[in-house]
Amino acid sequence: MATSTPTRPHPGPADDGDGRRGLAARVSLGKVFAPVPSEFYLIASTAILLTGFGLVMVLSATTATSTALGESPFDALLKQGVFAVIGIPLMFIASRFPIRFWKRVAWPLLILTVLFQLLVFTPLGIEVYGNRNWIGIAGYTVQPAEFLKLGLALWVGYVLYRKQTLLGLWRHVFIPLVPVAIAVVATVMAGRDLGTAMILVLIVLGGLFFSGVRLRIFIIPLLLGAAVVAYYAVASPNRLRRIMSFMDPNCDYFDDCYQPLHGVFGLAGGGVFGLGLGNSKEKYDWLPAAANDYIFAIVGEELGLIGAVLVLLLFTLFAVGAFHVIRKTDDRFVRIVSGGITVWIVGQALINIGVVLRVFPVLGVPLPFMSQGGTSLLSVLIASGVLLSFARSLPMRARG
């Protein structure tokens, strides 16, 4: 009697080592209405509220100057709105990607964002107030360094995650982290953008801090980062003069202190309840960068102390949601990247507000979600999507 030989199943794609098939990370869309932790709602809602608040303030801050130039008062709003309409869906799309995907794109994304940043040194590059960190594409001005922040945060998290058992040895902490980070920061400093370079340094330091490296090892990169920033601050006499002007009681009103003082005038003029939305006086070409780096001054002038506190409260709630992700996760990669992104967004907000209050010198960093600038808005929304992706991964026992 003949026996039939069992047929072998058709060989499938090779296993990638963690029980998943295929070399590419697959995006699991899951159930649209699947339950998500409270951290997800907190981060998403504050990001959307800050973005909407920012659109209103950009419109208010630009109507006067746009009308004076014979342009539509809604031009700035429409340009910013395009990036908001693109960025918010991208935030939720990014939230659907698994952690495995973010680990696999860390290196490629850093390389791509560095190459994108290097375009500022091509004929596409645009120089603004001595800084060459923008490029012109299809009528839009794009700042590649904003995407570099996200690429660096993911890369730092991946490198430190892969070396998690070796972080007690300083050489494994430094290589390749410090040389690559210095090279990345150098691409920005070559365009003389000290403010963005400082944020990149903060991202690296934030990643190191949340990776759990020993304090004695962490202090060395901290001092090295401070030394690099200090060197570039004093390397240019003009930059040093502008940075130190906030400490000079006799600072020239018509030169270095014109913008900082008008920022304070705007905040002081608003009082507790503000002059009313749209009633700012400083936006009538008195305050340079009213819709950009100094938009918080317009918030304080038009909406008063109440509006300013509301902005601070929204950023606080965003930070609470992000820190809950850091505290509750069991994945070191998630903890490190979440820490870097949180230090970037919340730290940049505090620096921007501190500049307006004259606690810090003028550094030229925008207020996340709110300042006019489509690239900045797009990058922080996508970064928020990464945080939302991590929030979805929280273990069930931590979701209570």
Cα atoms found within 13 Å of the Cα of residue 108, Cβ hemisphere only? 6
Residue pLDDT, tens place only, 40-53: 999 999 999 999 99
pLDDT of the residue at 171: 76
* Domain limits, the chain: 38-398
Residue pLDDT, tens place only, 79-101: 999 999 999 999 999 999 999 99
Nearest to 383 by CA among 330, 353, 339, 351: 339
User: Hunting for tokens 């901290």 — which residue is that?
Assistant: 222
Residue pLDDT, tens place only, 345-384: 999 999 999 999 988 888 889 999 999 999 999 999 999 9
Q: How far apart are CA 360 and CA 365, in angstroms?
A: 12
Going from the C-alpha of 16 to that of each of 25, 28, 194, 309, the distances in angstroms are: 10, 17, 42, 49
Nearest to 44 by CA among 343, 391, 399, 348: 391
CA-based Rg of the chain, rounded to a whole angstrom?
23
pLDDT of the residue at 346: 96
Contacts of 249 (CB under 8 A, 6+ apart): none
Pick from 26-30, 35-39, 157-161 the range whose average pLDDT is largest.
Answer: 157-161
Helix H segments across 168-214? 170-174, 177-189, 194-211
Cα atoms found within 13 Å of the Cα of residue 345, Cβ hemisphere only? 38
Provide, rounded to the nearest whole percent, the portion of the chain with pLDDT above 70: 88
Nearest to 308 by CA among 262, 269, 365, 363: 269
pLDDT of the residue at 176: 87
> Maximum distance among all alpha carbons in the chain?
107
pLDDT of the residue at 150: 96
Mean pLDDT of 130-153: 89
Nearest to 344 by CA among 324, 319, 362, 307: 319
H or E segment and range at residue 293: none
Q: In the predicted model, what is the mean pLDDT of the chain?
A: 86
User: Hunting for tokens 């273990």 — which residue is that?
Assistant: 395
Instruction: Tell me if the bond preceding 179 is cis, omega within 30° of 0.
Output: no
Mean pLDDT of 103-131: 91
Mean pLDDT of 110-114: 96
Specify the 3-state DSSP secondary structure of 334: helix
Residue pLDDT, tens place only, 8-35: 444 444 444 444 444 444 444 445 556 7
Contact 266, 280 (CB under 8 A): yes
Q: How far apart are CA 133 and CA 56, in angstroms?
A: 27
Structure tokens at 315: 């950023």
Contacts of 275 (CB under 8 A, 6+ apart): 269, 281, 301, 302, 304
Residue pLDDT, tens place only, 307-324: 999 999 999 999 999 999
Structure tokens at 171: 């050489």
Does residue 7 carry a pLDDT above 60? no
State residue 128 phi and psi, 5-degree precision.
Answer: -130, 120
pLDDT of the residue at 335: 96
Nearest to 67 by CA among 285, 281, 272, 345: 285
Residue type at 355 in one-letter notation: V
Residue pLDDT, tens place only, 181-214: 999 999 998 888 888 999 999 999 999 999 988 8
